[in-house]
Amino acid sequence: MKHNYLDNIPLSEAKERFFSLVCHSLETLKAENVETFLSAGRVTKNALYAKICSPHYNASAMDGISVKARDTYGASENTPVVLSKEQYTVVDTGDPIPDNHDAVIMVEDISEDEKGNVTIYSAVHPWQNVRQVGEDICMGDMIAPSLTVVTPSLCGAILAGGITHFEAVKRPVLGIIPTGDEIVPPTENPGKGDIIEFNSSIFSSMVKEWGGESRVYPIVKDKKDLLEAAVKKGTEECDVLLILAGSSAGRDDYTCEIIKNLGTVCVHGIAVKPGKPAVLGKIGEVPVVGLPGYPVSAIVIMENIVRDLVYRMGGLAVPEKKKVKAVLGKRIVSSLKYHEFVRVTLGKVGESFTAVPLMRGAGVVTSFTKADGILEIPQDSEGAEQGEEVEITLLKSADEISTSLIVTGSHDPMIDEIKDIMKKRGYPFTLSSSHVGSMGAINAIKSKSAHLGGIHLLDTQSGEYNKSYVEKYFPDGSAKLYKGVGRIQGLMVRKGNPLDIKDFSDVTRCVYVNRQLGSGTRILCDYLIGKYGIDKAKLEGYRNEEFTHTAVAALIASGNADCGLGIYSAAKMYGLDFIPVSTEKYGFLVNVKAESDEAVRAFFEILESDELKERLTQMGGYSF
Amino acid sequence: MKHNYLDNIPLSEAKERFFSLVCHSLETLKAENVETFLSAGRVTKNALYAKICSPHYNASAMDGISVKARDTYGASENTPVVLSKEQYTVVDTGDPIPDNHDAVIMVEDISEDEKGNVTIYSAVHPWQNVRQVGEDICMGDMIAPSLTVVTPSLCGAILAGGITHFEAVKRPVLGIIPTGDEIVPPTENPGKGDIIEFNSSIFSSMVKEWGGESRVYPIVKDKKDLLEAAVKKGTEECDVLLILAGSSAGRDDYTCEIIKNLGTVCVHGIAVKPGKPAVLGKIGEVPVVGLPGYPVSAIVIMENIVRDLVYRMGGLAVPEKKKVKAVLGKRIVSSLKYHEFVRVTLGKVGESFTAVPLMRGAGVVTSFTKADGILEIPQDSEGAEQGEEVEITLLKSADEISTSLIVTGSHDPMIDEIKDIMKKRGYPFTLSSSHVGSMGAINAIKSKSAHLGGIHLLDTQSGEYNKSYVEKYFPDGSAKLYKGVGRIQGLMVRKGNPLDIKDFSDVTRCVYVNRQLGSGTRILCDYLIGKYGIDKAKLEGYRNEEFTHTAVAALIASGNADCGLGIYSAAKMYGLDFIPVSTEKYGFLVNVKAESDEAVRAFFEILESDELKERLTQMGGYSF
């Protein structure tokens, strides 16, 4: 077992070292000849000057007749002028006007007799209704300076200036080499230990968004010679090389060593979290980045280092990331060793944004897909307190987030189904949901970080659901309870019930999997533990906490646990047996101030809809 | 000569008629199977549910050894625990942990002896350092609802959920048929009367920006049967058809008639300016739009009707256009007959944006490339006054515009060269220039709509340049004059000087081409007219006004005029003979408050640079 410690270089210093190492690639922009017709989105390498005028001849601006202006002088309603066939030429819009003519009369303003003479009732002055040579563009005029992004209309203007091809900045090509013995191409049926290679799809899509191109190479096994050959080939064929995984200092981590052998390493280990085990260097003139294997770690390195590189090599200014101020909805602790990037959801219920941190695991790619923004905690800070004002870097537009309906609380797949129906119906807002448990819902409604909160809270004294909690936590009536659905809770066990579980008292014979504190299901669990006089400390797996019904079901199906409490639909989905325990009321808490919001009304409309009922019936375990 | 009058239907009504006619295409979104790996930017047709868990096995989260957690209980610094070879397995990050193990100890936290026994100094609890099945994604969870745009990280999440392909909304394919006898493909050498077909490049680029695809068909001549065949083919192959030009009611305008023959026309003539002669209809289930031939007219119809169609057929919400408030820099008059779209430049010199209208000609595509935004004047309004607050729809980002250096005033190609050098040097701001003449510069500096104003104003009494004007218009010292360059002004005449022009007194024998009122060159012209006692009324072409030196040169080169005043570099560029008249001082007015702005300082730095001097020497006629 080999282990070397990495450096822990501050992000700004790491960037500085890297960009001075690869400055040649940043300053010497490569160019390629492009067809103007297809050039929208490209960046001009040099200034473009018109080769011809536009129009390049005197063109009629109207349908009508071209004339000599002086032939029309004196014409008026009372003194009309008649022009003979020889004095005019019929022209359509865009037609060249004859050399001896200098004006056009609109077809609407003339009357023609059988012989072809026309009568006009007002004079035209020279060049009236004529687009003279160069009206739009004059030969020699600069149509676009260097390093200009070609917009659709600029594309037209360049063509109008007679430029059919030009030198554009070459889009940097980023080679991406996925590595690892356990890595397999995308599949629906991975074997045990197979890791689906999805990182390269994320990074190649990011590169494209930043104006680069990507070339994804086949997966390379953890063999030093194979990887070295692949890296050599990559640096010959690409402008930048990204090596996925193997960037740390473990027994199979060859990235750093290979870059060192073939070129220069300037950083190995950056003081960011996630993202520490990154390697920065170059081989020949090609910048090379060793990215960590965890998707979220790698995304942090991509966003904070590679993004700048791609934009700059493409001749583009690096766009500033949009930021908003937000109130932190939950305390967050961070190490002094790292500059940390925390994914957060944002909601705007009242006047201000509330930011709620998402799961911080570096392997949780869905923390990025669910995130609305990033909270950066500097290296010298220990974190931030709940209620503190923080700055969030946006991943979505502030408008989209502002109009989002925030639904939080207890996990139920029903919320996702409502989200889907909302999308299908074309409402102008999206639903943003998170699973924080029923008690989390109460907190979120109290702190105005959500519009709606899903709860199923058993009053263990009365046996009733939800009501007494609302009375206790919202004595001022600032939140209302809306009826939701009935749900069957029960014990999920493996198919065939091999341990012969009959009721909750049998969990002592099992490895249990629990739900997180504050969830309605956990309250039910603790109530049943009390009722059956079970010793928590001796219940194996009691401390193994999950956040959703499907996560509990997944652990039972995989054999990590024998049983756990959850809803019927989750058991059904995973082919588990189900021993019903209770039918609970799943309701929605609404901030009364948000009650009449369009989005809240739409939510309840869908909740009552036959479309949703059909879907829930399909899933099973619900009553209405 | 045929002429029919068009309808004049208000824009909102035209849209309503059209979208109800083509509602089938909006509601029945087509789908196509896409590879997830390449799906970033695509839109999901239906909700996507994970097919597998991610991870789909219990994976080590660290490099280290997997163990049974209970074997480690009690380990501490004082009471280390020794594990034998049989009790652990070496695992790397991502490796599956053996079925009977449930925790991982980091490689950093163990010491190994020669026999392979390891000593540990702290216990691990079950599932510590293990990514349990479903940590990221649980089978059956909804990864994305319907009609979701796939981001790079979502692309990864979909793959992690075992979905290698899915149904995406088909990108609508817009067929584009350019028509017209005079239309030719892009070329550097168009013949007289040839119009370069650049509209289809503009529209296909726009369609791409809106998430659609385009298919540009070969140019079709103005023959009814040819066009009809092309339209039939287009409606068979595409989801939407755009027919360029022929949408009016002239003798060669067949678009409306053909759509009527093959399908339905719901609008012919919309009360917008520019853009009136548009046709809206459908053939079969394919929406068909006849676009006006003038690029700016067609862009207005594209932006205000086709844009919505493309987004909606692609399953996307139509993004709201960003708007800003601005002070109108110049009075604008508009007809009550039309909803007018005026291109404007925007500048932010003080606190607020100032909007200055650009040329309103429908054929001037550069009015779009130069524009920062659009001022809409509703149909029931006669225009807006100078100084009025107006709302501008942005064509660029407000940030980019806010940081732009606004240089206005007298035309000189030098400004474009400075702009180019600024771009090349990578300054974080752009230079936005417009030609409003020297007096326009004085007004712009006074009204704070520009940072810098280029002037060359002859004091006809003293023979001096600029100084007395600055004293007169800025007696309070609110603007300062900076030295610029010396320039030779003179009479441009055709090569070989066929009319044997010797000095300005000879212009009476010519067709003259003039500059606009307020320009320094016009002031010089009027001074010379006075000096030589010339009768303006009798000077042919005196009323033919152009805005730039190159435009004057272009008209002389093309034979529209015989001579005109201008700078040497313009004459040289067009191969004209040049009779020097005077050497003038071209200087820059600066608002003293903007004097120390970074962008202003950069401008003067470049103005003094050898790089600029070399370029101007190349162009000729300048002195420093």
Question: Count of CB contacts below 8 A, A vs B?
Answer: 357
What is the pLDDT at residue A549? 95
Start-to-end CA span in chain A (Å): 58
B93, B251, B316, B403, best to mutate vs chain A, most A CBs in 10 Å: B93
- Which residue on chain B is closest to A129 by alpha carbon? B361
C-alpha distances out from residue A541 to A223, A258, B102, B212, B426, Å: 39, 44, 11, 52, 60
Q: Inform me whether the C-beta atom of residue A20 falls under 8 Å from chain B C-beta atoms.
A: no
Both structure tokens of B165: 């392909």
- Which residue on chain A is closest to B62 by alpha carbon? A250
Measured distance CA(B331)–CA(A10) in Å, rounded: 55
What's the one-letter identity of residue A430?
A: T
When comparing pLDDT for A351 and B573, which is higher?
B573
Contact list in B for residue A163 (CB cut-off 8 A) is 188
Measured distance CA(A547)–CA(A528) in Å, rounded: 19
**Are B52 and A190 within 8 A, CB to CB?**
yes
What is the pLDDT at residue A246? 84
Provide the pLDDT confidence category of residue A2 given band limits of 50, 70 and 90: low
Percentage of chain A beyond pLDDT 90 is 88
ipTM of the predicted assembly exceeds 0.85:
yes
The model's pLDDT over A35-56, given as tens digits with 9 standing for 90+, comes to 999 999 999 999 999 999 999 9
Of B144, B147, B153, the CB nearest to A365: B153
**Are A141 and B550 within 8 A, CB to CB?**
yes
Whether this model's pTM surpasses 0.90 = yes
Dihedral angle, C-alpha A388, A393, A395, A399, nearest 10 °: 70
Q: Classify B491 in phi/psi space as left (phi over 0), alpha (psi -120 to 50) or beta.
A: beta
What is the pLDDT at residue B250? 76
The model's pLDDT over A317-348, given as tens digits with 9 standing for 90+, comes to 999 999 999 999 889 999 999 999 999 999 88
**Are B57 and A192 within 8 A, CB to CB?**
yes
E-state strands within B179-322 = 183-184, 195-196, 213-216, 240-244, 264-268, 272-273, 279-283, 286-291
Q: Inform me whether the C-beta atom of residue A235 falls under 8 Å from chain B C-beta atoms.
A: no
Residues of chain B with pLDDT under 70: 1-4
What is the pLDDT at residue A361? 78
Provide the pLDDT confidence category of residue A449 given band limits of 50, 70 and 90: confident
- Which residue on chain B is closest to A250 by alpha carbon? B63
Dihedral angle, C-alpha A533, A537, A539, A544, nearest 10 °: 130
H-helix or E-strand spanning residue B17: helix B11-21
Q: Is the pLDDT of residue A243 over 90?
A: yes
**Are B145 and A190 within 8 A, CB to CB?**
no
Min Cα distance A576 → chain B (Å) is: 13
Contact list in B for residue A203 (CB cut-off 8 A) is 152
What's the one-letter identity of residue A179?
A: T
Provide the pLDDT confidence category of residue A1 given band limits of 50, 70 and 90: low
What is the pLDDT at residue B329? 87
A369, A412, A542, best to mutate vs chain B, most B CBs in 10 Å: A369
What is the pLDDT at residue B3? 62
Of A196, A417, A551, the CB nearest to B159: A196
B27, B68, B89, B92, best to mutate vs chain A, most A CBs in 10 Å: B92
Query: What's the whole-number mean pLDDT along residues A388-409?
Result: 93
CB A159: neighbour CB atoms within 10 A? 27
Mapping DSSP to helix (H, G, I), strand (E, B) and coil, where does residue A25 land? Answer: helix
- Which residue on chain B is closest to A300 by alpha carbon? B153
H-helix or E-strand spanning residue A65: strand A64-67
Q: Inform me whether the C-beta atom of residue B98 falls under 8 Å from chain A C-beta atoms.
A: no
What is the pLDDT at residue A536? 92
Measured distance CA(A22)–CA(A241) in Å, rounded: 12
Min Cα distance A562 → chain B (Å) is: 14
Supply the mean pLDDT for chain A.
Answer: 94
Both structure tokens of B5: 């009058």
Contact list in A for residue B126 (CB cut-off 8 A) is 541, 543-544
**Are A416 and B560 within 8 A, CB to CB?**
no
Residue A167 and residue A45 in contact, taking contact as beta carbons nearer than 8 Å: yes
Q: Inform me whether the C-beta atom of residue B575 falls under 8 Å from chain A C-beta atoms.
A: no
**Are B202 and A570 within 8 A, CB to CB?**
no
Q: Inform me whether the C-beta atom of residue B383 falls under 8 Å from chain A C-beta atoms.
A: no
Both structure tokens of B363: 């054929």
Measured distance CA(B140)–CA(B127) in Å, rounded: 23
Q: Inform me whether the C-beta atom of residue A159 falls under 8 Å from chain B C-beta atoms.
A: yes
What is the pLDDT at residue A477? 93
Start-to-end CA span in chain B (Å): 58
CB A267: neighbour CB atoms within 10 A? 24
> Apex CA B119: angle with CA B118 and CA B120, to 5°?
120
Min Cα distance B199 → chain A (Å) is: 6
Query: What's the whole-number mean pLDDT along residues A82-91?
Result: 95
What is the pLDDT at residue A329? 87
Residue with the two structure tokens 């022209």: A91
Residue B378 sits at φ, ψ, to 5 deg, of -60, 160
What is the pLDDT at residue A617? 96
What is the pLDDT at residue B401? 92
- Which residue on chain B is closest to A142 by alpha carbon? B416
Query: What's the whole-number mean pLDDT along residues A3-23?
Result: 92
**Are B152 and A369 within 8 A, CB to CB?**
no
Min Cα distance B594 → chain A (Å) is: 24
Write down the H helix ranges in A494-587. Answer: 520-531, 549-558, 568-573
Measured distance CA(A315)–CA(B426) in Å, rounded: 9
Nearest Cα residue to A513 out of A460, A453, A559, A481:
A559
DSSP for residue B136: S
**Are B317 and A428 within 8 A, CB to CB?**
yes
Residues 32-91 of B with CB under 8 A from A: 36-38, 40-41, 47, 51-59, 61, 63-65, 90
Measured distance CA(B407)–CA(B418) in Å, rounded: 11
What is the pLDDT at residue B549? 95
H-helix or E-strand spanning residue B37: none
- Which residue on chain B is closest to A396 by alpha carbon? B151
